């Protein structure tokens, strides 16, 4: 591989990288090299939707990051799982099909990013989407990434829906329409009982192309430059450093933690930080690693008085056998769905014009996402603030690419975020205390014996956790934004031949799960790179 060259090098085979590899290599005249630090996606736990609980902790498939001690979380370090395999986090995530609100993308546009408004991005969402039920004008049934409906109603979700209706939240069969507010079942990124990662949807159909070269177990050290133009990358493969050259562009799709890390290791970032580690400064770009945003979830756990939870099936050999047979014979049942079936978007703050919180209703309970289920019948209402004001940052702590960067989340750093979290927990508890859901509940396991706003906030600080949506650390923006790393075509400022295409490019966090927005971003970026839309 040493000194082999390709037209395009894509760093990171995750939610965005697999899309780019497919779209850029569609033209046989383009040679593409896709570089992934993790292994191939061969683990059966990746492809079985409920396998999420296994991949959550597997160091072969998961970077298993930890934040720095967070003042807003009583100095706790928060576990941040990120995918380390073909498909990236789309191979280990919770499978939920959410785009966000149209207002999110109009905000991107209004922040000085032409081409990223709702009307601009909708065609790319649809280009990606293969929906089993929903069609025009807002959906498509022909795209590679599958969005499947949950086929069987669950008694707990049905009661949850009825209770939310009584509290003024309308039922919906589509969280991705023009008004996100509602309660219902999520659609999932699955197909015929299997996970549909971007590796399955985009990479598998393209991997036989002669002009696409896929490298796994290859850690990128840095981007190489000549006269401020990106000309290649340095990688470590089986302990040996190698160079791969790019004739046209290097594209970082390593995610909101590692794309800024690679830029900083390459000499692009805050000059003071780079000099601290004796890294030659290619371009002083202070925004690299700044603007970190994430969704903070608060998990309320309840014990049920009926054996209708997934806990009951998982806690007995008969239940496990039944689940296995349902999947083997019909590609159905809990194994084909994963963890979260029910969703809810609503407003809890007076000034919110659109939903400001999201629920993930899990038909099981555990101390943390992906943890061992409780021995009793239980369920979890996980609630998060959709558009937090708090901002953190990512900064290298070594010039060694194998040392993870420091991640400062700064959760609950603003009064508004603290008030929204308190209001979100209150709304969740109100749901649990309202009929007909109340009649199913034996007791509140968590937070329990918490009443005042101060006590609720302390619960949030002591038990809050990520819902796995870090974004914003290489934000796109106009020239007059001193922290904008990218222009609206996702090109890195101050250099040539280098782009960032992943969640780190997002100036603000979408209102919901981030996998589909990452796919949309890459779909549109591919057209920008190939010159098929004006940049």
Give the whole-angstrom CA distance, residue 44 versus residue 170: 38
Give the whole-angstrom CA distance, residue 39 versus residue 215: 9
Over residues 412-427, the pLDDT tens digits come to: 999 999 999 999 999 9
Per-residue confidence (pLDDT) for residue 2, from 0 to 100: 53
Per-residue confidence (pLDDT) for residue 368, from 0 to 100: 77
- Which listed residue (139, 213, 374, 469) is catalytic? 469
Provide the b/e sequence for 176-185 (b: ≥16 CB within 10 Å). Answer: beeebbbbbb
Q: Which residues contact 432 (CB under 8 A, 6 or more apart)?
A: 300, 302, 381, 438, 441, 444
Domain 1-49+79-142+194-292+470-535: CATH superfamily is: FAD/NAD(P)-binding domain (3.50.50.60)
**The length of the chain, given as a count of residues:** 535
Per-residue confidence (pLDDT) for residue 313, from 0 to 100: 80
Q: Is the dihedral of CA 371, 373, 374, 375 positive or negative?
A: negative
Cis peptide before 447 (omega within 30 of 0): yes
447: how many CB neighbours lie within 10 A of its CB?
21
Binding positions are 220
Binding positions for FAD are 220
| DSSP bridge partners of 246 | 6
Domain residue ranges of the chain, discontinuous segments joined by +:
1-49+79-142+194-292+470-535
**Long-range CB pairs of 58-63, under 8 A, 24+ apart, other chains included:** 60/84, 60/85, 61/85, 61/91, 61/92, 62/92, 63/257, 63/404
| Full-model pTM | 0.96
Residues 408, 70: contact at Cβ < 8 Å?
A: yes
Give the whole-angstrom CA distance, residue 392 versus residue 376: 38
Give the whole-angstrom CA distance, residue 34 versus residue 144: 19
Residues of the chain with pLDDT under 70: 1-3, 535
Give the whole-angstrom CA distance, residue 490 versus residue 504: 10
25: how many CB neighbours lie within 10 A of its CB?
25
Residues 20, 525: contact at Cβ < 8 Å?
A: yes
**154: annotated active-site residue:** no
SS3 of 325-370: the string is HHHHHHCCCHHHCCCEEEEEEECCCCCCCCCCEEEEEECCCECCCC
């Amino acid at each position: 591989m040493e000194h082999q060259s390709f037209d395009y090098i894509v760093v990171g085979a995750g939610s965005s990288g697999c899309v780019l590899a497919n779209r850029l290599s569609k033209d046989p005249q383009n040679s593409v090299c896709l570089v992934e630090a993790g292994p191939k996606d061969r683990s059966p736990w990746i492809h079985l939707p409920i396998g999420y609980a296994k991949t959550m902790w597997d160091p072969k498939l998961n970077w298993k990051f930890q934040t720095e001690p967070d003042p807003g979380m009583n100095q706790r370090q928060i576990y941040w799982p990120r995918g380390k395999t073909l498909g990236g986090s789309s191979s280990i995530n919770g499978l939920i099909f959410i785009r966000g609100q149209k207002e999110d993308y109009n905000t991107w546009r209004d922040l000085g990013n032409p081409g990223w408004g709702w009307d601009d991005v909708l065609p790319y969402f649809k280009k990606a989407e293969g929906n089993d039920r929903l069609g025009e004008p807002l959906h498509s049934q022909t795209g590679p990434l599958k969005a499947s409906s949950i086929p069987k109603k669950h008694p707990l979700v049905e009661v949850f829906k009825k209770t939310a209706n009584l509290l003024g939240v309308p039922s919906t069969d589509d969280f991705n329409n023009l008004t996100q507010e509602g309660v219902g079942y999520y659609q999932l990124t699955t197909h015929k009982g299997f996970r549909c990662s971007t590796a399955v949807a985009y990479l598998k159909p393209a991997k036989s192309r002669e002009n696409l070269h896929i490298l796994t177990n290859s850690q990128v050290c840095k981007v190489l430059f000549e006269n401020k133009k990106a000309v290649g990358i340095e990688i470590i493969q089986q302990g040996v450093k190698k160079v791969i050259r790019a004739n046209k562009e290097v594209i970082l799709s390593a995610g909101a933690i590692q794309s800024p890390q690679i830029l900083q290791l390459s000499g692009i970032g805050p000059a003071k930080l780079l000099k601290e580690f004796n890294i030659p400064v290619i371009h002083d770009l202070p925004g690299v690693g700044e603007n970190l945003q994430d969704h903070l979830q608060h998990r309320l756990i309840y014990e049920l008085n009926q054996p209708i939870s997934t806990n009951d099936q998982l806690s007995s050999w008969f239940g496990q056998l039944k689940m296995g047979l349902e999947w083997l014979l019909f590609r159905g049942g809990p194994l084909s769905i994963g963890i979260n079936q029910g969703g809810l978007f609503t407003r809890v703050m007076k000034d919110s014009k659109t939903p400001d919180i999201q629920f993930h209703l899990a038909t099981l309970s555990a101390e943390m996402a992906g943890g061992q289920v409780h021995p009793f019948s239980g369920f979890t209402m996980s609630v998060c603030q959709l558009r937090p004001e708090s901002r953190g940052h990512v900064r290298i702590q070594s010039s060694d690419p194998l040392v993870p960067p420091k991640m400062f989340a700064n959760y609950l750093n603003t009064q508004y975020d603290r008030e929204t979290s308190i209001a979100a927990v209150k709304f969740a508890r109100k749901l649990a205390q309202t009929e007909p859901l109340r009649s199913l509940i034996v007791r509140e396991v968590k937070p329990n014996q918490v009443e005042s706003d101060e006590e609720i906030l302390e619960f949030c600080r002591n038990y809050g956790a990520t819902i796995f949506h870090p974004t914003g650390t290489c934000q796109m923006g106009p020239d007059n934004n001193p922290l904008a790393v990218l222009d609206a075509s996702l090109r890195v400022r101050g250099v040539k031949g280098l782009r960032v295409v992943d969640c780190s490019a997002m100036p603000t966090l979408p209102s919901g799960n981030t996998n589909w927005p990452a796919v949309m971003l890459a779909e549109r970026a591919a057209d920008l790179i190939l010159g098929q839309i004006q940049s």
